[in-house]
């Protein structure tokens, strides 16, 4: 299992330790906040410039699968996390309970959803379309879904007007500008895809360091028992198992084939760390509990990578066996 804990996960842990030992405070924290905002705008600009409309259109024809992915992501998943928030006062600190609500409102992961669908020999064009559409739609849908969840659970909600203005300025406009300039930037983005991926990860590390610095500097961590963190680990594992099982069941009820089932399984059960952390930095700016709010998505992300890799390999073996049995030349 350790082979699925990659270098980036170790860097995330190192950044958390660094924030605990040397949290940024005062003027330096304010400067880092400005750097965060600029870096996040650059991140979504690069996402807009890199996203090919042709790749999205290639998988859009299977509209039933696309609706199922969006329904899982922004409909079923939020409803599943709602009971966690109701029980949160008994099990978790309020910020951690809020983090599970936020997890439920996030769009699907892009890179891992597509990669695992490919490994599983699933419908890759549909996975590309579903994951990309989920993230573009999620820039506006996530604040609304989160607000509804927060109101239903009795948690403190967002100032939705302010949140949407910040989402438009920091996320949507840079993304739209990147898409508008894509005809001139597509070749550059393709040639420097590795550098763009490193920039993505660098921004995530910066956000994590800033969030946990605020968490440590505020003294909020002193009120967070270890039992609550253990409960968060268990809840993330149970939540992922339930959503993956539900995705498979839904695919079979809808009569999808194995390839479409794989796409729904990986796109419908995953949540995006790459979109979730920058968006959290916008929605929950200056909240001392931000470190706890983003903790569920960080735990869920690593869990979905480990479990997703194992499940994708299982689907791959099943596809190979089916191919061998269908080949008359196979002894």
Q: Is residue 273 part of a domain?
A: yes
- How many folded domains does the chain comprise? 1
Which run of H or E residues covers position 238? helix 226-253
For 150, half-sphere exposure in the C-beta direction (CA atoms, 13 angstrom radius) is 21
pLDDT at residue 219, as a whole number: 66
Q: Is 328 contained in some domain? A: no
pLDDT of residue 223: 62
| Residue 329: per-residue pLDDT | 53
Tell whether 167 is covered by a domain.
Answer: yes
User: How far is the C-alpha of 215 from the C-alpha of 226, rounded, in Å?
Assistant: 15
Contacts of 117 (CB under 8 A, 6+ apart): 123, 124, 127, 262, 263, 266, 267, 312
Helix orientation angle between 258-269 and 226-253, rounded to the nearest 10 degrees: 150
Q: What is the pLDDT of residue 328?
A: 53
Element (H, E) at 244: helix 226-253
C-alpha–C-alpha distance, residues 119 and 309, integer Å: 9
pLDDT attached to residue 93 = 81
Within-domain flag for 326: no
| CATH number of the domain bearing residue 304 | 1.20.1530.20
Is-contact 44 174, C-beta < 8 A? yes
In this predicted model, what pLDDT tens digit does every residue of 242-301 receive, in sequence order?
999 999 999 999 999 999 999 999 999 999 888 888 888 888 877 777 888 888 998 898
pLDDT at position 2, please? Answer: 43
Q: Is residue 68 part of a domain?
A: yes
Examine residue 330 and state whether it is found in any structural domain, yes or no: no
CA distance 46 to 174: 8
* 323 falls within a domain: no
User: Phi and psi for 17 in degrees, rounded to 5?
Assistant: -65, -45
Residues in the chain, pLDDT under 70: 1-6, 55-56, 58, 88-89, 153-161, 218-224, 323-331
pLDDT at res. 160: 64
In a domain, residue 331? The reply is no
Neighbours of 235 (CB within 10 A): 22
Host domain of residue 96: 2-318
Long-range contacts of 228-234 (CB under 8 A, 24+ apart): 228/91, 228/92, 228/93, 228/96, 229/295, 231/91, 231/92, 232/92, 232/96, 232/100, 232/295, 232/296, 232/299, 233/299
């Amino acid at each position: 299992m350790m082979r699925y804990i990659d270098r980036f996960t170790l860097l995330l842990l190192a950044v958390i330790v660094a924030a605990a030992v040397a949290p940024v405070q005062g003027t330096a924290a304010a400067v880092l906040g400005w750097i965060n905002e600029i870096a996040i705008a650059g991140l979504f600009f690069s996402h807009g410039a890199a996203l090919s409309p042709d790749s999205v259109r290639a998988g859009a024809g299977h509209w039933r699968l696309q609706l199922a992915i969006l329904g899982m992501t922004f409909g079923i998943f939020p409803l599943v996390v709602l009971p966690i928030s109701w029980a949160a006062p008994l099990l978790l600190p309020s910020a951690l309970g809020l983090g599970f609500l936020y997890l439920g409102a996030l769009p699907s992961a892009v890179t891992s959803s597509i990669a695992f669908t490919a490994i599983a020999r699933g419908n890759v064009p549909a996975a590309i379309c579903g994951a990309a559409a989920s993230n573009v739609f999620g820039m506006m849908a996530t604040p609304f879904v989160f607000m509804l969840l927060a109101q239903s659970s009795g948690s403190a909600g967002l100032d939705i007007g302010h949140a949407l203005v910040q989402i438009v300025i920091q996320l949507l406009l840079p993304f739209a500008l990147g898409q508008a300039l894509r005809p001139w930037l597509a070749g550059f983005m393709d040639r420097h895809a590795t550098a763009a991926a490193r920039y993505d990860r660098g921004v995530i590390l910066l956000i994590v360091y800033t969030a946990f610095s605020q968490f440590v500097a505020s003294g909020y961590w002193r009120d967070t028992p270890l039992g609550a963190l253990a409960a968060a680990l268990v809840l993330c594992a149970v939540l992922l198992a339930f959503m993956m099982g539900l995705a498979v069941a839904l695919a079979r009820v809808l009569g999808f084939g194995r390839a479409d089932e794989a796409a729904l399984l990986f796109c419908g059960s995953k949540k995006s760390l790459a979109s979730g952390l920058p968006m959290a930095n916008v929605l929950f700016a200056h909240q001392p509990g931000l470190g706890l709010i983003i903790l569920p998505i960080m735990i869920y992300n690593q869990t979905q990578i480990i479990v997703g890799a194992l499940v994708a390999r299982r689907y791959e073996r099943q596809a190979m066996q089916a191919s061998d049995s269908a080949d008359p030349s196979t002894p």
